[in-house]
Amino acid sequence: MGTSYVDVDALMSEVRERVRKKRTLGVYSDEVDAMLRAPLPGGPALLADDLADALAALSTYVGSEVPYDPRSRRGVVGPAITTARRGVMWLIQWWIRAIIDRQDRINKLVLRVLEDLDKRSQPRLEQRLDKLEEALRRRRQDESAANLHWEYFASRFSGDPKTIYEQDRRFVDVFRGRKRVLDVGSGRGTFLQLMRDESIGAYGVDIDAQLVELCREQGFEVYRVDAETHLRQLRDASIDGAFAAHFAEHIEPGALIEILRQFRRVLQPGSPLVFATPNARTLTVSAHTFWTDPSHRRPIPPELFEFLLLVEGFVNVRIDTYAPSEE
């Protein structure tokens, strides 16, 4: 007659899986669920997940004892068997303690080695991170010519403020009656001056400290912060208009998409959003004058800009040009 063995671990795994399925289906009540989570005599609960809280489970297992009853219940030879078992257990415990002591020593040495390696590598890691951050900062600065004297550049290449003021007049009726219009990249404050003259509430943001100070000296509300950061700080539907002249061509396409999404969130329903950007259809612009500004990223074709606005949920999108495109 053969001997059969029961794989207790496999059996308990199957029981746990069946219990989980029934709990998912809502078969068990709250009382049964609580019982399933209660610790079993001499072990964890039926549904205990040690890996979910490894630290707590470790302290439980380390502090627990493994009981063993050496007593034999055989009649005549029982006492002898009990004595033999106790002797064997004493020898085994002495041997196991020696192994545990050795392993404990090894664990402490390994921990100390890891701590020493961490202490040695941490300064070097911080130095490497500092170098990477500095390289990234320098690259961004070099790509956008951040160290350029932009106040002189604006005087030379940005056009006469009076001319820009008259060009921006075409947008006055678009923002008429608005109370909180955001001017992104407010620069020298030309658009803010126009809005003030037309009794339209407006404020601006710019990343150039000198231009921000120049606007503040004129009495304008201007903050030194990048557009995306500022938009993320605004509440939903907190502004009723936005104007961004010669801004979109200075940022990466992904950043422009995210800014459009933020505009969609912070603009009140029906509020106007105006972008002014160099016309990529014009050959002299896309091939020459566009690159006069070293901080320009790439020209944006009008069709692409229209698509981006439409796909982000804006309606009544219209393309206007200051001058006819070259054929």
Do 139 and 160 fall into the same domain? no
Residue 38 lies in a domain: yes
**Judgement on whether residues 171 and 269 belong to the same structural domain of the protein:** yes
- Measured over the CA atoms of residue 236, residue 240, residue 241 and residue 242, the dihedral's sign is negative
Same domain, 161 and 306: yes
Domain end position, chosen among 144, 160, 195: 144
Please report whether residue 61 resides in a domain: yes
319, part of any domain: no
CATH code assigned at 182: 3.40.50.150
Contacts of residue 22, Cβ cutoff 8 Å, sequence gap at least 6: 28
Among residues 33, 50, 67, the one where a domain terminates is 67
Confidence of residue 1 (pLDDT cuts 50, 70, 90): very low
Beta bridge partners of 43: 40
Residue 5 has pLDDT above 60, yes or no: no
Tally of structural domains, the chain: 3
Q: Are residues 15 and 154 in the same domain?
A: no
> Given this model, what pLDDT does residue 97 score?
82
CA separation for the pair 44, 49 (Å, rounded): 9
User: What average pLDDT does the segment 79-93 reach?
Assistant: 82
**Residue 325 placed within a domain:** no
| pLDDT (average), residues 223-239 | 96
Same domain (yes/no): 137, 82: yes
For residues 172 and 33, state if they share a domain: no
> Do 202 and 155 share a domain, yes or no?
yes
Mean pLDDT of 232-257: 95
Q: Compute the Cα dihedral for 224, 230, 234, 240 and give only its sign.
A: positive
Co-location of 30 and 125 in the same domain: no
Query: 40-59 burial string, b = 16+ CB within 10 Å, else e?
Result: eeeebeeebeeeeeeeeeee
Residues 41 and 79 reside in one and the same domain: no
Q: Which of 89-98, 118-127, 146-155, 312-321 shows the highest mean pLDDT? A: 312-321
Are residue 301 and residue 169 in the same domain, yes or no?
yes
User: How many Å from the N-terminal Cα to the C-terminal Cα in the chain?
Assistant: 99
Q: Which range (21-25, 96-100, 182-186) has the least confidence? A: 21-25
Domain encompassing residue 188: 150-311
What is the per-residue pLDDT for 194? 96
Residue at 1 is within a domain: no
- Are residues 128 and 165 both part of a single domain? no
Q: What is the pLDDT of residue 230?
A: 97
The DSSP call for residue 324 is P
Last residue of a domain, one of 67, 84, 101: 67
Domain assignment present for residue 39? The answer is yes
Residue 61 sits in the same domain as residue 79 = no
Residue 22 confidence (pLDDT)? 74
Tens of pLDDT, residues 134-183: 898 888 888 777 787 776 777 777 777 888 898 899 999 999 999 999 99
Is residue 321 a part of any domain in this protein? no
Tell me, what's the pLDDT at 115? 83
Task: Please enumerate in sequence order all residues whose Cβ is within 8 A of that of 288, keeping only pairs 6 or more positions apart, or say none.
Answer: none
Task: Please indicate, yes or no, if residue 318 is contained in any of the structural domains.
Answer: no
